Amino acid sequence: MLLSIKNLKAGINGKEILKGINLEVNRGEVHAIMGPNGTGKSTLASVISGRDMFEVLDGEVRYKDKNLLKLSVEERAREGIFLGFQYPVEIPGVSMTNFMRTAVNEVRKYHGLDPLTGGDFLRLMEEKKKLVEIESNLTNRSVNEGFSGGEKKKNEIFQMAMLEPTLAILDETDSGLDIDALRIVAQGVNKLRTKDNAFVLITHYQRLLDYIVPDFVHVLYEGRIVKSGTKELALELEERGYDWIKKENE
Amino acid sequence: MVHLFEENRGEIIRNDSEAISGIRDRSLDHFRETGLPDTKLEEWKNTNLAESFAKGYEYHFNPVPVRDLQRTFHCVIPHLDTAVIGQMNGWYVSQDVPLIRLGNGIIMGSLAQAFRQYPGIIEKYYNKYSSEDKNGLTFLNTAFAQDGVFIYVPDNVKSSKPIQLINVIRSDENLFIQPRNLIVLGKNSGLTLVHCDDSFNHQPSFSNIVTEVFLDSHARMDHYKLQNINNNSTLVSSTYFHLEKETVLDSLFLTLNGGLLRNNTRVLLNGDNSHININGLYLMDRKQHVDNYIYIDHNARGCSSKELFKGILDENASGVFNGHVMVRRDAQKTDAYQSNRNILLTDTAKVNSKPFLEIYADDVKCSHGSTTGQLDPEAMFYLRQRAIGEDNARMLLMFAFADEVVEKISIPPLRNRIEDMVKRRLMGESLICDQCVLNCGSKEQPVEFRIDKEMI
């Protein structure tokens, strides 16, 4: 078991948003979490990655047999948790190259490895840029600064390729993408899939799942996973919308 | 201070022409009226000098012999070819001649010597725009000033190498010093000046520095002011720029360390189509205080002035930005922009920011902005989610914030040096070493004080 979430309750400013989540993710699996807006999908991603504005009220999260909730944001990242942001942050003045070199070397240091030399790092960057088909000039700029919506999302996939996470949570990475960008993002994910890592795709639409075939699909509604199934569940949701889920849970 | 002047007038005026002595006496009269600035004055509301004055200082009317000259002035910037001028405790330092005239006509050296040797130039440019400032400390400096640096660049001469003016305080006494610098750029001339204020040990000092800069038409100046003094010292640095038409001035104020620092900067745009950029960066912690006061007087058409001042304040540090842009009635087509941005790292750090536009012309483009906040928590989370530890994430964001100012430095070796200093400062390294504050662990390098005529 890579990730095990039991009865997780969490909220913000005293308001409970997650009301008892249970989820298990094994290495090699791709899970899709779907659901209407405002049901807690992004909150779940935030709690797993350790964003401190959210408060865990109850339950437990284990990752690689560790109590995940005790680790800092950066420790979780160094242990292989990657969050693809719904709204990647623009950081003027911090170059992509400097950012990624610092990130990669922090992970290496955590695992007792020497930092990459400048040459090795640049080779790694070139290799990953090709893998995810990111334009060369994006890495010469400040982090996400002035990037289009599509470029920002591609940049998330590029960073994921650089950091080679064990568990990648992609929060609405498909939102706001045209079909070409969506294809590039999906191909990036498919190329990075191995038997040792896992993906959690948070998405509102089934569209992404045409390109990345999930092993499991979960429906999150009002802070709980109310339905789980295989990829066929996504198709059913696409056809029938979320209203029947809402009705079933009223 | 009035008493001190009267008692020592004979010493003070020993290099003067009659005109200079007259200027002193008038300035002392003005000082009698204004007194020392206090917080009742709007321009000094947020900077209180009372504690600084209370420390008690020694005043010298003659230079104290300099020891260890090489060690004191070895803070040269690697790979930056500059002509170094030294100032020790307010006095020009020379090993041979106090004032030199180079082959291309540039005159540089001691102001005291220039009083004697070039009375014509002195009377034309000395204490002109500065005399309009109703600032008690400037009046005081004008009354007392005995020495400082004099640089004269004749018409059509462009100094090919920067001049680095290093003003060092090194004494076992608490010194009160009042150096005076006069820099004149003739028509269509050019000069890069790197002006450093440093202190050697931890002895309290009070520096009341006045620098006058005159740019005749079509002149261009790059001006860098680097301040790095000890935590017990006070520095009031008043710089008066008088710009004639079609001149360009790029100025940077970098404040890295000091107990209390006040930069009084006044710019008179007296001719059409001149362009100035004044940028500043201050990185303060402990109980340090920095105050940047900038007054820009648009008194001609088609001029632009751009100000960007950024600061990071940690612990109990405080900062003031007071930017006043005056656009006079006939200064049509003025383009003025002021921006002050601050990051406060603690709840106890504070900043007072007051960008201010006073506009009497109707066809102008003017804007200003001011922001004060913490490090962006979203950016912090983003960096940390990418495995970057909290300290490194803060460093990256602080450096990125500061670099917007640093990257404007057009001389690469100087930019690299300052980037390095900013990084070290942000990492919390004290730059006040036991020796020269700019030493930064670099090997001692000999400094040639004999000015090579081929160099400029």
Nearest to B389 among A74, A83, A89 (CB): A74
Q: Which amino acid is present at A107?
A: V
Residue B311 CB partners (closer than 8 Å, separation 6+): B280, B281, B282, B283, B284, B290, B319, B321, B340, B341, B342, B343, B351
Question: A3-248, what's its fold?
Answer: Rossmann fold (3.40.50)
Tokens 């890592």 belong to residue: A197
Instruction: Please state the domain extents for chain A.
Output: 3-248
Spatial CA neighbour of A153 closest among A126, A124, A125, A133: A133
* Interface confidence (ipTM) of the complex: 0.97
Structure tokens at B432: 């006040």
B384 vs A contacts (CB less than 8 Å): 72-74, 77
Nearest to B387 among A78, A89, A91 (CB): A78
Our measurement of the distance from residue B40's CA atom to the centroid of its chain's CA atoms, rounded to an integer in Å, reads: 25
Spatial CA neighbour of B319 closest among B278, B289, B294: B289
Which H or E element spans position A81?
A: strand A81-84
Question: What is the reported pLDDT for B200?
Answer: 74
Structure tokens at B372: 């004060």
Question: What is the reported pLDDT for B71?
Answer: 61
Question: What is the reported pLDDT for A250?
Answer: 75
pLDDT band at A128 (very low <50, low <70, confident <90, very high): very high
Nearest to A77 among B378, B385, B392 (CB): B385
Averaged over A43-59, what is the pLDDT?
Answer: 96
Q: Is A111 on the interface with B (CB under 8 A)?
A: no
The C-alpha atoms of residue A48 and residue A71 are separated, in whole angstroms, by 10
Instruction: Please state the domain extents for chain B.
Output: 2-455
Q: Buried (b) or exposed (e) across B287-299, using 16+ Cβ within 10 A? A: ebbbbbbbbbbbb
**For each of chain B's 456 residues, which pLDDT tens digit applies?**
889 999 999 999 998 989 999 999 999 999 999 999 999 999 999 999 999 999 999 999 998 776 666 666 655 566 677 788 888 899 998 766 889 888 899 999 999 999 999 999 999 999 999 999 999 999 999 999 999 999 999 999 999 889 989 898 888 899 999 999 999 999 999 999 999 988 877 899 999 999 999 999 999 999 999 998 999 999 999 999 999 999 999 999 999 999 999 999 999 999 999 999 999 999 999 999 999 999 999 999 999 999 999 999 999 999 999 999 999 999 999 999 999 999 999 999 999 999 999 999 999 999 999 999 999 999 999 999 999 999 999 999 999 999 999 999 988 888 988 888 888 888 876 554 333 333 333 333 434 434 444 443
Do the strands A66-67 and B180-185 form a parallel or antiparallel pair, or are they unpaired?
unpaired
Spatial CA neighbour of B221 closest among B195, B255, B260: B195
Which residues lie across from A5 on neighbouring strands? Answer: A23, A61
Interface residues of chain B, partner chain A, Cβ below 8 Å: 376, 378-379, 381-390, 392-393, 396-397, 399-401, 403-404
Tokens 């066809």 belong to residue: B363
Is B388's CB within 8 Å of A103's CB?
A: yes
DSSP-derived 3-state class of residue A20: strand
Stretch among A202-211, A213-222, B294-303 having the lowest mean pLDDT: A202-211
The whole-angstrom distance between B406's CA and the closest CA on chain A is: 11
Residue A106: is its pLDDT beyond 50?
Answer: yes
Q: For A94, which DSSP code? A: E
Q: Is A196 exposed, middle or buried (0-12, 13-18, 19+ CB in 10 A)?
A: exposed
Q: Phi and psi (nearest 5°) for A57?
A: -100, -30
Question: What is the reported pLDDT for A139?
Answer: 84
Tokens 């935590």 belong to residue: B231
Which H or E element spans position A42?
A: helix A41-49
B403 vs A contacts (CB less than 8 Å): 93
Is A78's CB within 8 Å of B376's CB?
A: no
B399 vs A contacts (CB less than 8 Å): 93
Spatial CA neighbour of B110 closest among B90, B130, B138, B131: B90
Helix A149-163 to helix A96-110 angle (10° resolution) is: 30
Which H or E element spans position A124?
A: helix A118-132
The C-alpha atoms of residue B213 and residue B163 are separated, in whole angstroms, by 14
Averaged over A93-121, what is the pLDDT?
Answer: 95
The C-alpha atoms of residue A241 and residue A227 are separated, in whole angstroms, by 14
A51 vs B contacts (CB less than 8 Å): 381
B383 vs A contacts (CB less than 8 Å): 91, 94, 99, 103
- Identify the closest residue of chain B to A51 by CA–CA distance: B381
Structure tokens at B73: 């002035």
Q: Buried (b) or exposed (e) across B334-372, using 16+ Cβ within 10 A? A: bebbbbbbbbbbeeebbbbbbbebebebeebebebebeb
